[in-house]
Amino acid sequence: MRLIIKESNSNNEGQQLYLHYDGKEWVEKWEKKVIAFSMEMENHLQEIEPIRNQVLAGQLSPLAYHIEAKIFNIKLLSSYTGISKRHIKKHLIPKNFNQLDEETLKKYAATLGISVEELKTV
C-alpha cells in the first residue's frame, strides 16, 4: 500500500512526498482498519436496540430489524430484490410477514446475506 506522508519541513530539496509501506506495517494498518470498522458496527447495533425491542414486543416484523442491522434501506432493498417499496413497507408489519411464502423470504435473505431462519428470528 502506498501512503502519502509529508515529511517534517527539513529540506525543501529532495523532499520525499511518497513513502512505501508494505509487508508488516501494511498488515498492521489493515488490521487496525478491520478493528475500527467492527467497533463501528457494534456501535451501530447498540443504536438500533430500540427497534429490536419493538420487534420482540410484536409491533414490527424481524425484517425491519435486519434492514437496519445490515445498513440497508427500503429503496435499495427494493431495487435489489425487485419487490416494490409499497410491498416491503407492508412486510414490516408482523401479521403480513408471517404469511410470506418461501420464495420471497429467500429473496430477502439472499440480498441481506443471511439464511431464511436467521431472517425469521431477531
Query: How far is Cα of residue 115 from the mean position of the Cα atoms in its chain?
Result: 16
**Considering only residues 1, 45, 56, 116, which one is a binding residue for another protein as defined by CB under 8 A?**
1
* Closest C-alpha to 61, from 30, 92, 35: 92
DSSP 93: S
45 binds another protein (CB under 8 A): no
Q: Give how many residues touch another protein by CB under 8 A.
A: 25
Give the residue with the Cβ less far from another protein, 4 or 57: 4
The CB-side HSE value for 93 (13 A sphere, CA atoms) comes to 7
**14 to 43, contacts with another protein by CB under 8 A?**
15, 17-18, 22, 26-27, 30, 33-34, 37-38, 41
**Considering only residues 52, 54, 80, 93, which one is a binding residue for another protein as defined by CB under 8 A?**
80
d(CA 29, CA 46): 26
CA separation, residue 9 to residues 2, 19, 26 (Å): 21, 15, 25
3 binds another protein (CB under 8 A): yes
Residues that bind another protein (CB under 8 A): 1-4, 6, 12, 15, 17-18, 22, 26-27, 30, 33-34, 37-38, 41, 70-71, 73, 76, 79-80, 113
